[in-house]
Amino acid sequence: MLKSRPKKSSDAIRQSKRRTKLKEKFGPSVTLHMTKNNKIRLNKIAKIHTGCRHPGTEERCEMIAELINQHYIEYVFDHTEPIPAYIFKKYRDIKIMYKIEGLNDKQIAKKMNEKKEKQLRKVGTNEASFVDKTWEAKDVKSFRDSQHVCNLMKKATRAPGGKK
């Protein structure tokens, strides 16, 4: 006679769903060893970045990914060519206005329009150009997304005016 498996507890089911959700959002898990002080610091910056009072695995994953992208944008990409330099400058300007000056996306868009800042029309392998377009909150938000900026920088380095 076959024995049936014991049923999973509701906690086990919940944890399994949570792990699946994390894997879909961030990819497979990676073991990360750090000192207690570094974990405390990570939790503090995750709290600031995500607004979560008690950061958990998801918030820490998000923060680590953000730090990696920021470092990559600032120190790995070549900013000497015009298009990557423009993307980097807009990323830094918006980051300063948002984090240091405390402006929201709508206020930043207004400032960008007052300065008559141009926008990228399209960045791709064969084309990258600037246009006079009114900045909107969604445009600012996309420049605050470090993953999006990494993708733009990567495309720009393959576009005319970018390093191949």
User: If you compute the radius of gyration of the chain from its CA atoms, what whole number of angstroms results?
Assistant: 21
What pLDDT, on the 0 to 100 scale, is given for residue 164? 44
Residues of the chain short of pLDDT 70, as ranges, are 1-8, 124-128, 158-164
Q: Are 58 and 72 in contact (CB under 8 A)?
A: no
Tell the burial category of 38 from Cβ atoms under 10 Å away from its Cβ (0-12, 13-18, 19+). exposed
What pLDDT, on the 0 to 100 scale, is given for residue 22? 79
Q: What does the block give as tokens for 54?
A: 């008690």
What pLDDT, on the 0 to 100 scale, is given for residue 97? 96
List the alpha helices (DSSP H) in 28-81.
36-50, 57-71
Q: What does the block give as tokens for 18?
A: 């949570």
Question: Which residue type does 139 have?
Answer: D
* Tens-place pLDDT, residues 85-98: 888 999 999 999 99
